[in-house]
Amino acid sequence: MQNAEIAQRFEEIADLLEIQGANSFRVRAYRNAARVVEDQAESIAALAEQGSARLQEIPGIGKDLAERIVALVETGTIPQLEELRSQVPAGVLDMLRLPGIGPKKVAALFHDLHVTSLDELKQAAEQGKVAELKGFAKKTEQQILAGIEQVASFGRRFSIAEARANAEAIVDDLRALDVVTQASVAGSCRRRKETCGDLDVLVTASDSAIVMDRLAEHALVAAVLQRGETKQRVRLHAGIELDLRVVPEESYGAALQYFTGSKEHNIVIRRRAQERGLKLNEYGLYRGDEYVAGRTEEDVYQQVGLPWIPPELREDRGEIELAEQGRLPQLIELSDIQGDLHMHTTASDGTATILEMAQAAKERGLKYIAITDHSQRVSMANGLDAQRLRAHWQAIDQARGKISGIELLCGIECDILEDATLDLPDDVLAEGDWVIAVLHYGLKQPRAKIMERLLNAIQHPSVCAIGHPSGRIVGKRPGADIDYPELFKAASEFGVFMEINAHPSRLDLDDIQVAAARDHGIPIVINTDAHAPAGLDVLQYGVDQARRGGLTAADVANTRPFEEFMSMLRTAR
């Protein structure tokens, strides 16, 4: 059982408790538990096999939580979760899939309107009943209807982190089989999209039956849905479905190109093949009945007059033209990142000390970090007021003398308040090395107000970067209504950096706006927003997002050595 899967169970408990109107402290305890579990580098399931006491050694996991984890790993469920599920119809939880609709709104729909499914909710919204509820409005009602249509069109989607963890675990195990010569993840997971609807895995093997038997018996697989001679479809315990295809060696490259997509990219590639008198499909590239290529993706692209194109770029957003001109970017790699400029400690809502975060970053090869605990507005995260922040910065300064090989910056994640002011006094912010300004509250304000807040922050002399600019939560909460051209124009003018928040639930900026920010000449920083040492490991997802936006190492500020980065920052400010 993956850490993400265990964390999802505790998130579900929190959601169900909140829908039932439980004490907010209980709800928060389970949400914190989910984060602690997801942030662990070690397998929680493996630790659970050593007993409850072993789990309690992890900060943030107490006796009750440890016992629930052990029960989950041993039995596949938690009695409390099953009890809560029996009290709330499954269709009510489905409402949480609607963008912008959280547990509090779902509770009102369930208790006050007595709707228990998306179909019933749609009917109530169409009849105007939703807008009549306290705390709702006609705009919310229309948002719900649009969300229901979106869910119906796209079905359930899974975060790239969950999808990738499951897919890569299965591929690694299949590669270990003696009969397997090649195995890869394909589809949207290989392209590193923010969410995946299902998974695709391709394998070449001397015996397909052995491969399918291994998949059917895999610990992550809940059920075999279909099985043929060369194709098998399974449902994983996480709920996501996976297609396995065993293909011939001579078709592997063609199949990998075909099943990686995107559809739009592949249409262009097939058209180029046709223009050359060739036919391209998942079996290979043919001239009439004559096999031409297909063993590798490189061979396929070469035959249609192109160099190999990285999967992250295959969205038909100009990558074909760049490839034709020999101008494909040398995309950024994880190894290029030298600093992480957004992380939290026990001073606010993190689980590790300054030195523990610094040591964890150093062990991962980073050369510098900024400690950026929350400002006071985020009271639920124990945000810092001016007095506590100054004391915290003194502690960071003292920590500098206790660790070598890594530089520490005194930072703050400072809220941009609803009235467009910053959350801390100007004289305090001026003392910091690195100030990230963020939107946490008031995300539904009109565009004009949102832009006033962001532009005021950008023009503030102490603000270095705008963090997770839209404030979105992928698949759960839409971002603020932002005029991105105006935002980027201002950031470029005032020398303010833009963040790609690497946490899989944020990935903010998105890939489209990443490319737009680069085109405005804005330095990008890729940060983890880590709340624990293991949280630093999400950096890869931020790099993937940068790659989807076409960024090179030169486009990302924190690929630079520390002195060069600081010189760049001083020049910008």
What integer pLDDT is reported at residue 155 of this predicted model? 63
pLDDT tens column, 162-217: 999 999 999 999 999 999 999 999 999 999 999 999 999 999 999 999 999 999 99
* In a domain? residue 112: yes
Helix segments in 203-293, DSSP class H: 208-216, 252-260, 263-275
Domain count, the chain: 4
* In a domain? residue 63: yes
CATH of the domain at 71: 1.10.150.110
pLDDT category of residue 140 using cuts at 50, 70 and 90: confident
Q: Are residues 190 and 173 both part of a single domain? A: yes
CB atoms within 10 A of CB 321: 10
* In a domain? residue 469: yes
pLDDT tens column, 204-244: 999 999 999 999 999 999 999 999 999 999 999 888 999 99
- Determine the average pLDDT of the residues in 296-304: 97
Which H helix or E strand runs over 490? helix 484-494
Q: Are residues 163 and 134 both part of a single domain? A: no
Q: Are residues 398 and 358 both part of a single domain? A: yes
Find the farthest-apart pair of alpha carbons in the chain and give their distance in angstroms, rounded. Answer: 77
CATH of the domain at 190: 3.30.460.10
Q: Are residues 298 and 191 both part of a single domain? A: no
* Interacting residues of 511 by C-beta distance below 8 A, sequence separation 6+: 194, 545, 548, 549
Please choose, from the candidates 292, 328, 295, the residue with its C-alpha nearest in 3D space to the C-alpha of residue 311. 328
Q: Are residues 165 and 145 both part of a single domain? A: no
What integer pLDDT is reported at residue 247 of this predicted model? 97
Place of tokens 């109530």: 124
What integer pLDDT is reported at residue 139 of this predicted model? 86
| Domain end (from 154, 188, 221) | 154
Q: Are residues 480 and 365 both part of a single domain? A: yes
pLDDT category of residue 1 using cuts at 50, 70 and 90: low
Q: Are residues 164 and 138 both part of a single domain? A: no
The Cα–Cα gap between 210 and 534 comes to 36
Per-residue pLDDT at 41 exceeds 70: no
Domain interval for residue 239: 158-246
Q: Are residues 112 and 223 both part of a single domain? A: no
Instruction: Name the least confident of 91-100, 107-116, 251-260.
Output: 91-100
CATH of the domain at 294: 3.30.210.10
Cβ proximity of 517 and 496 under 8 Å: no
* In a domain? residue 295: yes
pLDDT category of residue 153 using cuts at 50, 70 and 90: low
| Domain end (from 122, 137, 154) | 154
Angle between helical axes of 3-19 and 24-39 (0-180°, round to 10):
170
Q: How much is the mean pLDDT over the chain?
A: 93
Instruction: Name the least confident of 145-154, 430-439, 443-452.
Output: 145-154
* In a domain? residue 162: yes
Cβ proximity of 524 and 551 under 8 Å: yes
pLDDT tens column, 380-408: 888 999 999 999 999 999 999 999 999 99
Instruction: Name the least confident of 32-41, 203-212, 358-367.
Output: 32-41
Rounded to the nearest 5 degrees, what angle is found at the Cα of 116, between the Cα atoms of 24 and 38?
A: 45
pLDDT category of residue 143 using cuts at 50, 70 and 90: confident
Q: Are residues 133 and 232 both part of a single domain? A: no
* In a domain? residue 340: yes
The region, left, alpha or beta by phi > 0 then psi within -120 to 50, assigned to residue 60 is: left
* In a domain? residue 164: yes
* In a domain? residue 257: no
What integer pLDDT is reported at residue 310 of this predicted model? 98
Q: Are residues 149 and 162 both part of a single domain? A: no
Q: Are residues 348 and 483 both part of a single domain? A: yes
Name 196's bridge partners: 158
Distances (CA, A) of 69 to 60, 82, 483: 13, 14, 44
pLDDT tens column, 239-298: 899 999 999 999 999 999 999 999 999 999 999 999 999 999 999 999 999 999 999 999
pLDDT category of residue 57 using cuts at 50, 70 and 90: confident
The Cα–Cα gap between 91 and 104 comes to 16
Please choose, from the candidates 499, 473, 477, 478, the residue with its C-alpha nearest in 3D space to the C-alpha of residue 487. 499
Cβ proximity of 434 and 341 under 8 Å: yes
| pTM score, whole prediction | 0.83
The Cα–Cα gap between 285 and 100 comes to 45
CATH of the domain at 470: 3.20.20.140
What integer pLDDT is reported at residue 488 of this predicted model? 97
Q: Are residues 420 and 432 both part of a single domain? A: yes
Which H helix or E strand runs over 374? none
- Determine the average pLDDT of the residues in 464-474: 95
Cβ proximity of 201 and 243 under 8 Å: yes
